[in-house]
């Protein structure tokens, strides 16, 4: 078990005048305080996977990520904490001979062995997934027996881990909407599955062009983890800010204002997009008056 720093994570009121005018309450579920190096949804999604790895006698984890992947760093730290080896397959073979950026250096310093794949190879391996027999065989041949975690860490166990978030929210009912950013869909899938009857989940997509695909991913995770689909969630695709990793000036200004007003440092690529989207949707009258939103603060700002 990867010991959390703080569990359950704090729930704090964060209604501001603009939201109050729209008749909407906002609370923050401070999952960013869960663990200093495996924060937020990384801890929620990894904890059950690590427990399974240890139980199944695995000694090595293998996963995938881009040059600045939070998931790679989190897996590296979490594996080391449990005495497991870790391997990270990184998108971009050109990175192999360059000095490591801060993120890959952190993963390596935590003990992760990195290998670099061309973009085509990476797309092929992550696209087919470790469930594909040829892919699994190729990985085991090259890296030996290991537990393979998907890119972003979203699998059935990850969704089950994230389902503990709504279980920490008391008195959820028909006026509640529990909200999170969506990258691969695992966090949203878990939140929706963990809600009591009447409450709803809202995901805000942080990447462009994910409509349809992301809904399919959430439904797939629901079938894999719970053997059924859920009808209590939706994804907003109108607030990706131009695409994954893009932080337009308007979003940056919102984040700075929010940080000043509420004294909390915001991760920009996911968390700030979520909070800006909620403010925008509330101002547009998308939530009924009396609605209570709970925004899950799924991560910490980058250390640099
Ligand atoms: C801070 C943060 N929030 C949200 C997400 C998206 O979660 P998911 O991939 O489960 O949709 C990520 C993904 O890596 C993240 O780093």
The finding on whether 187 has its CB within 6 A of some atom of ligand 1 is yes
Q: Hey, which residues does 20 pair with through a beta bridge? A: none
Indicate the top mutation candidate among 48, 71, 77, 187 to test ligand 1's pocket, ranked by most ligand atoms within 8 A of CB.
187
Distance CA 194, CA 40 (A): 16
Residue-level pLDDT at 134? 82
194 lines ligand 1 (CB under 6 A): no
Please give the pLDDT value at position 133: 81
Q: How far is the CA of 151 from the centre of ligand 1 (A)?
A: 11
Domain range 11-39+156-296, CATH architecture: 3-Layer(aba) Sandwich (3.40)
Ligand 1 pocket, mutate which of 47, 152, 217 (most atoms under 8 A from CB): 152
CA 230 to CA 218: how far, in whole Å?
9
Q: Is the CB of 203 under 6 A from ligand 1?
A: no
* Sign, Cα dihedral of 292, 192, 12, 299: negative
Q: Which of ligand 1's atoms lies nearest the C-alpha of 300?
A: 1
Rounded-to-integer distance, Cα 215 and Cα 212, Å: 5
What pLDDT shows up at residue 177? 98
Q: Are strands 11-13 and 25-29 parallel, antiparallel or unpaired?
A: antiparallel
The correct CATH number of 59-145 out of 3.40.50.1100, 3.40.390.30, 1.10.10.10, 3.40.50.300 is 3.40.50.1100
Q: How far is the CA of 250 from the centre of ligand 1 (A)?
A: 21
Among 299, 300, 302, the mutation site with the greatest number of ligand 1 atoms within 8 A of its Cβ is 299
Which tokens belong to 167? Answer: 């279980």
Ligand 1 atom 5, closest CA: 183
CATH 3.40.50.1100 positions along the chain are 11-39+156-296, 59-145
The answer to whether the CB of 43 is under 6 A from ligand 1 is no
Amino acid 1: pLDDT: 67
Ligand 1 probe mutation, 150, 206, 270, most atoms within 8 A of CB: 270
Residue numbers of the chain with a pLDDT score lower than 50: none
Q: Is the CB of 70 under 6 A from ligand 1?
A: yes
pLDDT value of position 135 = 82
This prediction has a pTM of: 0.96
Reported residue count of the chain is 304
Task: Give the C-alpha separation, 199 to 180, whole Å.
Answer: 14
Return the beta strands (E) in the chain as ranges.
11-13, 25-29, 60-65, 85-91, 112-117, 147-148, 176-182, 200-205, 233-236, 292-296
Tens-place pLDDT, residues 53-95: 999 999 999 999 999 999 999 999 999 999 999 999 999 999 9
Are 298 and 180 within 8 A, CB to CB?
Answer: yes
What pLDDT score was predicted for residue 130? 63
């Amino acid at each position: 078990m990867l010991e959390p720093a703080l569990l359950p994570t704090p729930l704090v009121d964060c209604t501001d005048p603009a939201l109050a005018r729209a008749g909407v309450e906002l609370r923050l579920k401070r999952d960013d305080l869960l663990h200093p190096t495996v924060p937020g949804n990384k801890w929620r999604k990894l904890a059950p996977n690590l427990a399974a790895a240890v139980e199944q006698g695995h000694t090595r984890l293998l996963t995938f990520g881009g040059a600045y992947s939070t998931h790679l760093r989190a897996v590296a730290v979490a594996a080391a904490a449990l005495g497991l080896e870790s391997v990270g397959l990184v998108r971009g073979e050109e990175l192999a001979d360059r000095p490591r950026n801060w993120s890959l250096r952190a993963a390596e310093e935590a003990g992760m062995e990195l290998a670099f794949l061309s973009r085509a190879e990476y797309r092929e391996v992550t696209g087919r997934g470790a469930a594909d027999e040829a892919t699994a065989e190729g990985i085991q041949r090259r890296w030996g027996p290991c537990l393979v975690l998907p890119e972003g860490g979203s699998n059935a166990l990850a969704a089950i881990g994230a389902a503990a978030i709504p279980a920490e929210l008391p008195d959820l009912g028909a006026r509640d909407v529990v909200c999170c950013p969506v990258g691969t869909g695992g966090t949203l899938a878990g939140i929706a599955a963990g809600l009591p009857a009447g409450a709803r989940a809202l995901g805000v997509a942080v990447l462009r062009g994910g409509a349809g695909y992301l809904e399919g991913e959430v439904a797939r995770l629901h079938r894999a983890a719970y053997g059924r689909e859920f009808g209590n969630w939706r994804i907003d695709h109108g607030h990706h800010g131009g695409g994954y990793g893009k932080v337009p000036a308007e979003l940056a200004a919102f984040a700075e204002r929010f940080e000043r007003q509420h004294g909390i440092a915001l991760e920009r690529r996911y968390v700030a997009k979520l909070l800006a989207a909620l403010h925008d949707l509330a101002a547009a009258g998308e939530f009924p008056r009396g609605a209570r939103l709970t925004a899950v603060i799924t991560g910490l700002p980058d250390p640099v």
